[in-house]
Copies of this chain bind each other. A is one copy, B any other.
Amino acid sequence: MSSPTSQRIRKLPEERRAEILSEAANIALAEGLERITLRAVADRLGVRPGLISHYYPAAEDLVIAAFVLAVSEEREELFPADGDPVARLAHLVSRMEGDGAFELTRLWLNARHLCRFSPALAEALEHQEHLDRQRLTSLIEDGMATGDFTVGDPLAACVRIFVAIDGVGAYVNNTQAFTHEAFTHFVSDVAEWSLGMRAGELRTAVDQVSGGDVRAKAKDDAGR
């Protein structure tokens, strides 16, 4: 009875909603937030555009939700629960200085610009910033307790490190990679400087993490 061209599959509302959001997040990471259109999401899901409207009456809300989802998922990867403070920081810095967070960095840059036109996105973005800052501040406080970091104001150090990350991230869309040492090691340099670590201390830890992650990095490289 069903026409061969269209067999409609009915899913539970929550399931379909999550599926749409997840696919939108994939588009956000791979192609950019402005490529999240009703049609683009619908095509990837093999569904009609109207269905996306049904779950997200305002397309902008889907874009914001997709950004939040993508960023939230990556955050868990960026801040591992185990390890000493230096190792955890090294993990974060390694991801940021290496090319393991390429898509994430582009997404942040993307969203930071789009904030200009969307107050709602700006609010969501600032909330995500706040969550990231909480994570890193807490990491820094752990390091102060163990004596690894010597810093007066942990939030100040946290802010500096994130500004450094965003500064490096600003160049993510450049075609010719910038290989200058001052650039490629900017985040670890700023972190050492801000956390009162000995020169090269963090960089050594970062190199260890990166070395141990060599397979994962190679896989990421191949994906680009």
Give the interface of A toward B (CB within 8 A).
32, 106, 108-110, 112-113, 115-117, 119, 122-123, 125-126, 153, 155-157, 159-160, 163-171, 173-176, 178, 180-183, 186, 189-190, 193-194
Contacts and interface: CB of A to CB of B under 8 A. Distances in A.
B112 A109 contact: yes
A interface SS class:
helix
Contact of A109 (B113, B168, B178, B189): B113
A155 B159 CA distance: 25
A174 B126 contact: yes
Given A180-B155, A193-B193, A163 B168 contact: yes
A66 to B, nearest CB: 16
19 contacts: A109-B113, A112-B171, A115-B173, A115-B175, A122-B174, A125-B174, A126-B174, A126-B176, A155-B180, A156-B180, A159-B180, A159-B186, A163-B164, A163-B182, A163-B186, A167-B167, A167-B170, A169-B170, A182-B194
Contact of A156 (B159, B169, B181): B181
A136 to B, nearest CB: 13
A10 to B, nearest CB: 36
Nearest to A173: B115
Nearest to A167: B167
Nearest to A115: B173
Q: Which of A106, A126, A163 has the most CB of B within 10 A?
A: A163
